[in-house]
A = this chain, B = another copy of it.
Amino acid sequence: MKETPNHGQIDIYNFDDTIFKYLINEQLEVLWSNIEVLELDKNIVVYTEGSRPKGVYLVKKGILKIYKTNNEGKEHIIRFAKPNDIIGFRSVISDEPYCTSAKTLEPAVLVFVPASIFISFLKENNLFSLQLVKLSCKELGESNQFITDLALKSLKERLAEVLLILYNNFGTDKDNFLRITLTREDIANMVGTATESIIRQLAELKKENIIDLVGKKIKILDLKKLENLGKQ
């Protein structure tokens, strides 16, 4: 019925930890026979703001940044996508051009689901649409939080907030290093500030023994203090 090609350790046909687990077997069959697997290098653009959505992407491996670019070319990172996240569904559902772009930060494996298939699942399967309502409401809550953070907080507090978001999304390894490695510029583009300012603020946090810096890796030394800063 289905073969399982070997993409590293990844089982492309396993949707247990994704929103597609709410599909009925019949729909899973449709899904299996319509998906397309994409193996991408790092720094590959998956879709671009303004273009027409062809479908949604399920992340199987790797991390992507979801961002917007203003017309001076400066980019702003809205969020990241990690394995088992789906991206691009907002535009598919609204049937509008993508309002963001997506780019791989590291080599990635994506599963592409055509828009028509995705929409038909929504129409046929109420449990599935219900879960998608929940998902988009969750993202909406996060976006609203982010709006307030940007509007009311100081640079340092916003940086703390961003580090916490990264911590909650990607966790830390056994040595307390964040499991995502970003350039200073990427961090600046999340916080909405200049690279130099981020460097100075990171140095501040290090001086206060809240974090430690080893190359691009960031080590969380004092989560409590970081949370206090972020919750300011």
A156 within 8 A of B: no
- Residue pairs across A and B with Cβ atoms less than 8 A apart, 24 shown, are A68-B145, A70-B148, A70-B153, A70-B232, A71-B232, A76-B148, A76-B151, A90-B141, A94-B141, A99-B141, A123-B126, A123-B130, A125-B126, A126-B126, A129-B129, A129-B130, A129-B133, A132-B133, A133-B136, A136-B137, A140-B140, A140-B143, A143-B143, A151-B192
A96 within 8 A of B: yes
Q: Distance in Å from the Cβ of A226 to the closest Cβ of chain B?
A: 16
Decide: B143 and A147 in contact? CB cutoff 8 A. Answer: yes
A106 to B152 alpha-carbon distance, docked (Å) = 26
Decide: B100 and A134 in contact? CB cutoff 8 A. Answer: no
A78 within 8 A of B: yes
A224 within 8 A of B: no
A191 to B150 alpha-carbon distance, docked (Å) = 11
Interface residues on A, range: 35 or more
A71 to B152 alpha-carbon distance, docked (Å) = 10
A42 within 8 A of B: no
A139 within 8 A of B: yes
Decide: A150 and B152 in contact? CB cutoff 8 A. Answer: no
A138 within 8 A of B: yes
Decide: A134 and B94 in contact? CB cutoff 8 A. Answer: yes
- The interface residues of chain A, by DSSP majority, are classed as helix
Select the residue from A90, A126, A151, A231 with max chain B CB neighbours within 10 A.
Answer: A151
A174 within 8 A of B: no
Question: Could you say which residues of chain B place their CB within 8 Å of the CB of A76?
Answer: 147-148, 151-152
Decide: A192 and B152 in contact? CB cutoff 8 A. Answer: yes
A127, closest chain B residue (CB): B123
A74 within 8 A of B: yes
Question: Could you say which residues of chain B place their CB within 8 Å of the CB of A100?
Answer: 144
A96 to B134 alpha-carbon distance, docked (Å) = 11
Q: Distance in Å from the Cβ of A87 to the closest Cβ of chain B?
A: 12
Contact of A122 among B94, B133, B150 (CB under 8 A): B133
- Interface code A71-103, partner B: CB below 8 Å = 1, 0 otherwise? 100101010000000000111011010011000
A146 within 8 A of B: yes
11 extra interface residue pairs, beta carbon distance < 8 Å, beyond A96-B141, A136-B137? A70-B148, A70-B153, A71-B232, A76-B148, A93-B137, A99-B145, A122-B130, A129-B129, A140-B140, A150-B192, A152-B192
